[in-house]
Structure 1
Amino acid sequence: MTACTTLKEIDTSIDIDAPPCTVYATLADFGNYALWNPYHVRVAGSGVVGEGLEVRVSRPDGVVVDVPHVRLLEAEPCQSLAWGGGINGIFAGEHRFDLEQREDGNTHLSHTEVFSGLFIGFADLPVPVLTEGYERMNEALRREVEGK
């Protein structure tokens, strides 16, 4: 058996009726993920770029995964947050939250992930399931932020 897929992408988005800095504050508050986030049920770490994170996901198909070797890659207040890990060319992933201020002052969130490398085809990464999980998280984030 050989791996044919070297790239998998998940692209989701949502509009949130709150300014980007408010949305970012909720995304960057890892300690509260368990209170509102149905997909990333645990994210723990210092929040310092380059430092390790503990990430646990609960997929819509019932699979729970502790994601190994994750590092915070980017933390630009009011703009973007990204984490990921792996070995480039072999198996790597980058999970991103990019915030864009709309004309009305509210936020357009792009929530994406790109998996790349020779061994992606062997990994349990069902794009439809992950997409559903990200969409559920997006909606939960919208409710959490707009309810404050």
Structure 2
Amino acid sequence: MRHEIRSEIEIEAPPDAVWARLADLGGYAEWNPFITRAEGTARAGERLSLRMQPSGGRAMTIRPTVTAAATGSTFEWLGHLGVPGVFDGRHRFELTPTPAGTRLVQSESFRGLLVRPLRRSLDTGTRAGFEAMNAALRRRVLSAEPEP
């Protein structure tokens, strides 16, 4: 079974400014309500340690592998709950320049045996976590932007 969720937001700053905050995993604890602790480097092949706190759900730590990291445009990882095929998630951030700044799309594609029983939780708590993270990232980026 497959399932995907996504959330997007406009951020009034250039993609490189958004990327700087998104790729600063060590800073997540200061601002991120969804990924409350992050260790590792935003570089393809690197292993991360992420503490996820879905809205209304139980916190869990995952150790995904970065599958794509392109400065200013893409950050993606693949994680597994237990063994591959039981519950796999490919999490992706896409940054696209817009006239006003950047469109950030955060999405995750889930596959595996546990997707069907967990679907409701994904559509509520996990999606709400994405939206909270996007809004917090926007605030973080804009608070770091120099005044004109």
Question: Does the TM-score normalized on the shorter chain lie above 0.5?
Answer: yes
2:47 aligned residue: 52
Shift of 1:124: 7.4
What residue ranges of structure 2 are gaps of 5+ in the alignment?
none
Instruction: Name the CA distance, whole Å, in 1 between partners of 2:120 and 2:70.
Output: 28
Shift of 1:62: 4.3
Task: In structure 1, give the amino acid aligned to 2:64.
Answer: V
State yes or no: 1:97 paired with 2:93.
Answer: yes
- Once the two structures are overlaid, the 10-residue window that deviates more, 50-59 or 115-124, is 115-124
Pairwise CA RMSD of aligned residues? Answer: 1.8
Shift of 1:112: 0.5
The TM-score normalised by the length of structure 1 is 0.87
State yes or no: 1:37 paired with 2:32.
Answer: yes
Shift of 1:18: 0.3
Counting matched residue pairs gives 141
Instruction: Name the CA distance, whole Å, in 2 between partners of 1:108 and 1:97.
Output: 10
Q: Which has the higher helix share?
A: 2
Determine helix, strand or coil for the equivalent of 2:33.
Answer: coil
2:69 aligned residue: 75
2:135 aligned residue: 139
What residue ranges of structure 1 are gaps of 5+ in the alignment?
1-5
1:8-61 alpha-carbon deviations (Å, 9 max, x no partner):
211100000100010011000000000000000111113331121101111110
Q: Which has the higher strand share?
A: 1
The TM-score normalised by the length of structure 2 is 0.87
Aligned-pair identity (%): 35
